Structure 1
Amino acid sequence: MKQITSLFIRPMQRLAILVLMLALPLIVFADDVSNNLDLSVDAVAEVMPLVQGGPNGSTQLYVVPRNGDGKNGCNLTGGSSLVISVNSSNTSAATVSPASITLTSCGDTPTLTIVPVGLGSTTISASQVSNNTGGTFNLAPVTFTVNVAPPPNTPPSISVTGVTGGVSYEIGSVPTAVCAVVDAEDGNITFPATLTALTGPLASFGLGTQTASCSYTDGGGLTASAAETYGIVDTIAPSIAFVNTTPAANGNGWNNSDVTVNWSCSDSGSGAVAASISQTLSSEGANQSATGTCEDHAGNLASDTQSGINIDKTAPAVAVTGVTNGASYILGSVPAAGCSTTDALSGVAATASLSLSGGPVGSVTAACSGATDNADNASASSTATYSVIYSWSGFLKPVDNLPTLNQAKAGSAIPVKFSLAGNQGLSIFMAGYPASQKINCDSAAAVDTIEETVNAGSSSLSYDATADQYNYVWKTDKAWGGTCRQLTVRLIDGTTYSAIFKFTK
């Protein structure tokens, strides 16, 4: 029975083998197109690991001939070609290039470049575009998977840009401090630096030392910091501008009081110490100058000088000329009074005017007033008071002048004669004069008898133009017999003249 079975089986095996052998020529073996990520050509997709932001990946395609698909050996012969397209299923993860490849020989090994774009996975595969080889191609081995992973976290680097440590910058021109971050994983960014408060004695005026600091922590928790310390200075002088002088000069360009010169100060840096300054000139003088100096809080100075300032506080000097204060002048020989006006500084603007009061005989006052100088100083009046008197040559005969004692009979009328160098009118006596008064008789005095008397009922005054003589008839009193008297003549020019008499009974 075993033998029968064996005999039966063997023919069946032989039949199966025959059938299999007859069927083998009918199976088609296409040429394979594969990547070279590994050494096997199979349907299992290889994996290409890449890193986001890292280097690109690459693989080469190659053709593996598989005889029996209509052509023996390589299908790519005789000028035939195979055109395939290469695609990425997820271009946000990775892209592939070139997108189209033409194969003309089984020795062709075109390179695919895979660029990692973002985190994720994608499948790179190929599809046939055209084929004129007469054979077939298996493109499945081209397929592979690309996994894009995040890069390993590296520490960021950070620097302060815009400012340089140790450098001093002019106030108002300090560069903007910026933090510059370089991070392989998170990317490069910039942002404003954090500024510390100014330090130093002039910090309140915007000057001193300042630090710009930067700090950054990346997505992986790594931190980098940087700082730069610099100075802010003010080396530019402030601005000074002349404002005015007070009070303003008059039309002649002169002042007669203290002059204050005013300036304004400004500074765009640390600021001016004072918004305005002034200088006061109090001394007299022509073409004087004043200098103002503005200062900023950094100690920078700016000056301005104003000249041509004229100050005259002294009034013109005025004097009466021609006559002398307290002097006496004979009528008809009085010098002409006048005024002199001088000014040693600004000069005379208006001379003094003369005015006379009193006279024509007696006390006369010459006054000079109204003088001004070019600084508008007005002078005080200058006066000179003098006397104008009649020309007096003494009593004429029959009266003798002092110290002679004239002797006459009491009750007689004595002609008292004198000359005033011309007819001065009959109002020549001061009121109440001539007048007489009793005096003691001097026994030692020389005595001269009055040689001439007149008949008169009372005293009177007359003028004799021919003789140029005044004749005052003095009517004496009989009761004066045995006494001595002094006759006093006081003229309206203020002069007084006397003669003494001894009366007999």
Structure 2
Amino acid sequence: MRTLRITAIAAGVSVALAGGMGIAHADNIQDTIADVGAGVTLVAGSPTAGNAAIRLIGNSSGGDVDPNCNIDPGEAPLRLDIVTPAGVTANPDPLEITGCGTEFPVSFTASSTAESGTVTVAILSGPAGNGSYKNEVSIPITVTQPVPSNTKPTVAVTGVLDGATYEIGAVPSAACQVTDTEDGNGTTAAVISGTLSHGLGQQTATCDYTDAGGLHADTATAVYTIVDTGAPTISHSLSPSGGPNANGWYKQGVTVTFDCSDSGSGIASCLADGESGTSKVLSEGANQSVTGTATDWAGNTATDTASGINIDTTAPSVALSGGPAAGGSYYYGSAPAAPTCIASDALSGLDGSCVVSGGGTAVGTHSYTATATDLAGNENSATSSYSVLPWDLRGFYSPVNTGGVWNTVKGGATVPLKFEVFAASELTSTTAITGFTVKGVACPGASAPTDDVEFVTTGGTSLRYDSTAGQFIQNWQTPKRAGACYAVTMTTQDGSSLTANFLLK
């Protein structure tokens, strides 16, 4: 028996021949037509062919006189029809086998609509010699769909530039621009990395992209720096908030407080001169100033100065000069003249003159007060008190009695009113006497003490000082009204007085 064997060879793969030459023993030679090797894989629509081979292997059988191969030299070839699955084309087809033991190649291509299946052969015609054939050709054909073409995508960082510097608060948004021929272009967000301190520092925008076919674009990065070049702002306020007085002075300590802000990296410090905080308290001094400094986290600074601050918390010094001695006592009419004022202020100066108020000449206790005010509004005063003593009145002397005694005298008679006035020393001028008053009063009851006036005279009624007797004398001519009662009062300039009661008969 002769075997026709077909060898299937994948494209680009070398397949060794299988089998050897048989020994002829009979006239009837049966060959086997067979394929050798694995199947063929084709890509639909691809011009690339897959290759196989078919060979005829001779067998001796039954003592055939043609012991080796059905195809003898000079005979016609064995013509085979290559039967393929739908859409698969064989070349050559038909295939001519011209001898045994030789591989006759066949290539296969698949159309875009080709289907997988099995290749077989059919004998179209054989050589003139006798013999039969056993057809063992069965070549598996696998048709695959073409792998779509895929171009490597690209990706680029947009929005920010590599090596660029951006102001804080004005950093563009970083994005990834994808260019992909097959999957389409697009934009995605960039991955931002890098640690910032107070919004400042270096950041990296990274873009990665893998397309639907698994191709990864080269990573794109952009490293940029965020800075703060803007200066902070600073302002100040003063407490008390009402400001200085009309003269430009405060009379209490002033607190200067600074307020700082920064729209970029923020405020790192806001300090008043020489302080660890935002405020500084000023005490006394003229034309003082305080400077505050604002520093942001980028090191930018700004300053603000509160100037021209005048503070005087000390009251002026003030004293009385001259005038009554403090705690002194003076008889009416002998108190010294009003004192003057002495004042000074070492810082802001006096606001106007020192003013003296108070005092008095009337009998009683009095005081003088000196008041001074400085330009800051501080006020100080000095006070001195003294007493004005009443005069010492003595009398009325005989023939008139006082002390609640009723003097009886004949109506129409003249009564001498005798008295003395002392102010440390005796006063002799009639100007010391303000006057005399006579007032009708109710007569006393029977139990009231009475005393007849022992001596009367009809002399003149004018007031005089009798230097011989050392006393004042005022003759009072009584009314001619028997049974009437009167109170006669002498008053001196200091307001002191002597009173005597009279009952006319």
- Report the TM-score when normalising by structure 1: 0.42
More helix by share: 1
- Report the TM-score when normalising by structure 2: 0.42
